[in-house]
Amino acid sequence: MEKLDEKSGATLVALPPVMSAHGVRRSFGAVHAVVDANLEVAPGTVTALIGPNGCGKTTLMLMLAGLLLPDDGEISVGGADPRKDSAAVRNAIGWMPDQLGAWDNLTCLQTLTLVGRAYRLPKAVARERGAEVLGTVHLSEFADRPARVLSRGQKQRLSLARALMNDPQVLMLDEPANGLDPRSRVELRQLVRGFAAQGRAVLVSSHVLSELDEMVDEAVFMSKGKTLGADTDAMVADARTRYRIESLDDSVLRDAFAHWDMPFEEVDGGLVIRAQNKEHAASILEALVKGGAKVHRFGPFGSALEQTYMAMNEERR
């Protein structure tokens, strides 16, 4: 099966998912945390898991990681079922929780060496692997410093390093951008895209939707314990057709769009149009400039994921 990569425009061959959930449910007494969850994450891709607080995201991620058993439904990670082979699932997954439970008196390298030993790596190999992943997350200078001296953002990076210790097929990142400064967020995006380029499957849960837009290939939205599927896929695709244009004289834009019989919306400081794809958007900009429009801003109209999230919650009030 083939699909078009919206970022590069290249045709991709879709690989079978390395992580999947179908019809998954989980309740805690009378509380139905996950009612009907379905998702697939393919190797070499980054998938976002998006939804408001209390919608079931963390419960679903705990089940995918084999840390919580589902009441019903099917889960597969690296070809293993967490209910039947939890050890295989743990070996396939690198888990970065929202809050790092660190051993404050251990150094960063000692922390990672201990995690490596838990995966039954020989001590020397675990130490070498720990030093390697500290370099990957830009924490090498803190290798011999205790975890208690790390800032919130540095602890996030140590948590990411810990998730990489077993060289996992699947990375699960829960709010990875929490506490990171702007530069660290850029580095995180680059790291996550690099992990996908290595062939890993990455599942990211985050509320920073503008960050996710530049990071992910797919998005799964959740509301009230359910994943929303094709409806939100269509909403994301529609949001990505919207482009904002600002010029020194918007009357020139209005005249051009009227001549081309192209609908537009008026927004603060400019106009919003729809383009079929990047090539169509580029041709519109080229025609406007050739026609004398002094365009000083042209680009996607905000975050497609953010627009979908807001529209999704408006519909479900």
> By mean pLDDT, which of 17-21, 200-204, 214-218 is the weakest?
214-218
Q: What's the average model confidence in pLDDT over 148-172?
A: 92
In the block, residue with structure tokens 């895209």: 193
Cβ-based neighbour number of residue 197 at 10 Å? 9
- Residues contacting residue 119 through CB under 8 Å, at least 6 positions apart: 91, 126, 165, 166
> By mean pLDDT, which of 13-22, 56-65, 263-272 is the weakest?
13-22
Which residue in 137, 202, 128 sits closest to 172, CA to CA? 202
Return the bridge partners of 187, or none: none
**What pLDDT does residue 1 have?**
38
Sequence-ordered strand ranges (E) for 80-238: 93-96, 170-174, 201-205, 218-223, 226-227
Q: Cα(119)–Cα(126) distance, rounded to whole angstroms? A: 9
First-residue to last-residue Cα distance in the chain: 37
At residue 2, does pLDDT exceed 50?
no
> Structure pTM?
0.82
Q: Can you list the domains of the chain with their CATH numbers?
A: 2-228 (3.40.50.300), 242-315 (3.30.70)
Helix (H, G, I), strand (E, B) or coil at 40: strand
Q: Cα(51)–Cα(48) distance, rounded to whole angstroms? A: 10
Q: What are the distances in angstroms from CA 244 to CA 78, 270, 271, 272?
A: 42, 7, 6, 4
289: which 2 tokens? 């400039």
137: which 2 tokens? 């997350």
Residue at 198: amino acid letter: Q
At residue 222, does pLDDT exceed 80?
yes
- Per-residue pLDDT tens digits for 122-137: 999 999 999 999 999 9
Residue at 251: amino acid letter: S
Helix (H, G, I), strand (E, B) or coil at 212: helix
- Per-residue pLDDT tens digits for 24-43: 999 999 999 999 999 999 99
